[in-house]
Chain A
Amino acid sequence: MRAARPSAQRLLSRRSMLASAAGAALAMPFAGRARAAEAINFATWSAAVDEVKAHLAAFTTKTGVDVAYSNSPFAQYRETMITKFTGGAPIDMLWVSDSWLPEFAQAGWLAPIDQFKNLTAYDAGTSDFCNESMMYEGKQYGLTYYTDYMGFLYNAEILAKAGFTKPPESWEEVTSQAAAIKAKGLLQYPVVFGMAQESWMIEFISAMVYSHGGRLVDGAGTAVLQDAKSGAVSTLSWLADAVNKHQILSPGCVTTGELEVLKTASAGKAVFVLLPKYRLRVLNDPAQSQVAGQFRQALMPMGDGGSHSTVGWMRFYGMTPRAVANATRGENTAKLMEWFGGKADDEYRFQKTLLLDLALGFGVKALYDDPQVRASLGAYGDVDLMARQQALAHKKDTIAPWFGEWNDSFGTAWQQAITGKTGVDAALKLAAAKWAELKKAG
C-alpha cells in the first residue's frame, strides 16, 4: 500500500499537470480578454446620464479600461446603494452625497483616497467647503462631481413695482419689503421657502442659520441649535413670524419642496426664494419660466450679528474598499475618478460640461475665470456675485453617521414650530435632545 501511494500520487500529479496544461492552453487565448473585460463598476444616480456616458466612452478609448456604468433614481439612491453594499455587489466607484459620507465611511463602504496623490493634488484649487465636505475623521473620501450652494434669489420686476430699487440686505429687510409687497396687493405670499420633509430641507435651514451667524452643531459634534445665540432660534422665530404674524410666507411652506418653490417662482408667484444657485438658469429661461429675465441673485440676507454666509453641499466621486484592495483596480479607479472629478486631457472637462449643459456648480475656483464658464453663467446671472457667495459657503455641520435618522425628527420639530403646534424653544430643545441621544448610541 505504502509503495503504491507515491505511484498513484505521481499518476495523479501527472494527470492533473496534463489537465492543467491542457486547460491553460485552451484558456490562453481568452485570458487576456478576460482580464481586459474586468471592468471598473461605476454607479451613479440618474442624472447627467448622456454626459456621463460620453465622458466614459472617451475614457475607455484613451486608457483601454472598460467601465460598467449603472444608475438608479436619486430618490432611492441611498437605499439602493446600501442594499448593494450589504449584499456584496461589486462597486468600485460611485457618486456620494456629503450627507451620507459618515455613515458610508463608518460602515466600511468607502475607502479614503489619500494614498492617490494625483487626486488629492486638486484640493489646493478647490473651494474650502468642498474639501471639508469630503473629509471624515481626517481622511479624504473623494473628488468633486458637482457642488453648489443655497442662493437668495429675487424677482427684480415685482420688487421694483413695490418701489424697491435694491434687494434686502438683512432678514429684517426681507420682512419689511415682503410686507410692503403684500400690502400693495402684488402677491399674497411674497416669500416662498421650501420647508417640506425632503432632502433639501436641511440645506434651506442651514443656509438661514449660517446667515444668522449661527450653527446647528458645533465643531465638537454637539448640538447647539437650542442655544439662544446659535442662530437656529432666531431663524426659526423669523420663519414662524413670517408665517403666523406677518403672513408673508405661506403656511403651505411645510408641504412645499424645492421643486414647488421653483415652479411657484417660475409662475411669477414669488419675490424672494431660497434655491440652489443653479436654478437661476431655469428661472431666467423663457422656455421654462413665465418670468424669464426677472430673477436676480443677491447675497444671503444677514440676521442679527450674522453675515452673508450660506450653506454649500457636495456630491462627489467615492471609491470603495473593493477598488483599492487590488492595486491595478485601484489605480484604474483613481484614473477614472480623476478623469471625471479632476482634469481630463489637461482641462476640467467634465465639470465644465456639467455647467454648460446643466448649469451644475463646480468646486474648482479657477473655473470662475474661464471665459466659456463666465459666458455661460453671465447669460442668466452675475458671475462675480456667484463667486463671492460661493466663497462664503460653509459645509453642513449636521453631517454625522446618525444624520438620516436625526433629520426626520428634526424636520418634524421644525415644522411643528412653523405651524404653531409647538414653540420655537421647545422644538429646538427636542431636536437637540434627539441629536444627543443618537450621538450617544453611535
Chain B
Amino acid sequence: MQRITHDERAAFGLLAPLALVLMAVTAFPILYSLWISLFAVNLRRPARQPFVGLDNYVHVLGDPQFLESVGRTALFSAMSVSAVLVIATLVAVLLDQEFPGRRILSACLLIPWAIPSVANGLMWKWIYDANYGALNGLLMQLGFITQGMVWLGDAGRTIPLIANAFIWKEVPLAAILLLVTLKGIPADLYAAAQVDGAPAWRRFLHVTLPALRPGFLLVALYELLMAVRHFDLFFLLTEGGPGGASDVLAWRIYVETFRNLSFGTGAAMSYLLAIATLAMSYALIRSMAQKL
C-alpha cells in the first residue's frame, strides 16, 4: 500500500477549500433540486409540501404540453445544429484560404459571438418587428414586399426564425473551432490527392471532411447542448407564443418553476432534460467516436 506523501497531503490541503466551495455551489444545489423534485413544492402553498416520490415525474411525462415542448425542442435543435455545422464548415473552409482581408473578415466574424445573448435577442426582436422592423424595411426597399410581413406572429415561422437568430450567434465560435481542426490537416494529404488528379470537390469530400470529424464532434456536441437548453431568445422574442408555438422545454421549465411557482414539477422537468441531454451526448460521442 502506498503511503500518502507530504506533497500529496499539502496538495489535498490546498485543494480542499476549493473542493468545499464547489460542493457548496454545485453539488449541493444539484442534489437539493433532486430532493425537491420528489416533493409537491409550490411556493404558493409554503405550508403544504408533501413527499410525492416519483409522482412529479409521472405527471410531467403524462402532460401533453410538456411532450409537445419536447417535440419543439427537438425541431429547434435539429434545425439549429445542422445549420450551424453546415455554415460553420463553409466559413471555416473560406477562412482557411489565403486572400486579402482574411484577417479583418476573421475578426468581424467574431462580432455576433461577442454580443451578449440578451442584446442579441433584443436586436432580433427589433429586426423581426412587424411594424417598424429592419427586415421589413430592407425587403420593402429592395421591392420584395409592399406591406410589412408579420414574422414572429406566424406560428409556422416562429421556430425557424428563432433558430435563425440562434445560428447567427453560434456560427462564429463553431467556425473558429472547425478552422483550428482544418489547420491541423497535413498538407501532404492534399498534395497526394492533387497528384492523383482529384479535383477540388473530391479533395474536400475525401480529405477535408473526414479530417474534420473531431471538430464536427466537438461542435455538434456543444451546439446540441446549447440548443436543447436555450432560453434567452424564446424569452425575449416570443415568450413561448404565439399560441404556444415556441413553447420549448427551457421555456416550459421557466414557466412551471418561476411563474407557476411549482418547484417540484419544475425540478422534475429539469432532471428529465438533463437525462435526455446526457443520453443524446453519449449517443453522439459513441457514434462519432467510432468513426474517428
Contacts and interface: CB of A to CB of B under 8 A. Distances in A.
B239 interface: yes
B130 A254 contact: no
Q: Is the interface of A mostly helix, strand, loop or mixed?
A: helix
B273 interface: no
A413 B240 CA distance: 12
A82 interface: yes
B155 A267 contact: no
Given A264-B131, A419-B155, A254 B241 contact: yes
Interface stretch (A3-11, A14-22, A140-148, A245-253): A245-253
A328 interface: no
A289 to B, nearest CB: 14
Nearest to B132: A267
Interface string A397-410: 00001101100110
Contact of A196 (B46, B148, B241, B260): B241
Interface residues of A, number: 42
B286 interface: no
A250 B244 contact: no
B265 to A, nearest CB: 11
A274 to B, nearest CB: 16
Contacts of B150: 250-252
A50 interface: no
B46 A86 contact: yes
Interface in B249-266: 255, 258-262
Nearest to A76: B258
B150 to A, nearest CB: 4
A253 B243 CA distance: 11
B96 interface: no
Interface in A364-417: 401-402, 404-405, 408-409, 411-413, 415-416
Nearest to B252: A408
Nearest to B48: A442
A440 interface: no
Given A264-B132, A408-B260, A415-B242, 15 more contacts: A103-B44, A106-B44, A197-B240, A250-B130, A251-B154, A254-B241, A255-B152, A264-B131, A267-B131, A409-B65, A412-B247, A413-B243, A415-B241, A418-B242, A419-B155
24 contacts: A82-B261, A86-B43, A103-B44, A107-B44, A250-B153, A251-B154, A252-B150, A252-B151, A252-B152, A254-B243, A255-B241, A260-B129, A264-B132, A267-B132, A269-B131, A404-B260, A405-B259, A405-B262, A412-B241, A412-B243, A415-B242, A419-B155, A421-B243, A422-B243
Interface of A: 79, 82-83, 85-86, 103, 106-108, 188, 192, 196-198, 250-256, 260, 263-264, 267, 269, 401-402, 404-405, 408-409, 411-413, 415-416, 418-419, 421-422, 442
Pairs A-B, 8 closest by C-beta atoms = A252-B130, A254-B242, A416-B243, A252-B153, A415-B243, A252-B150, A405-B260, A197-B239
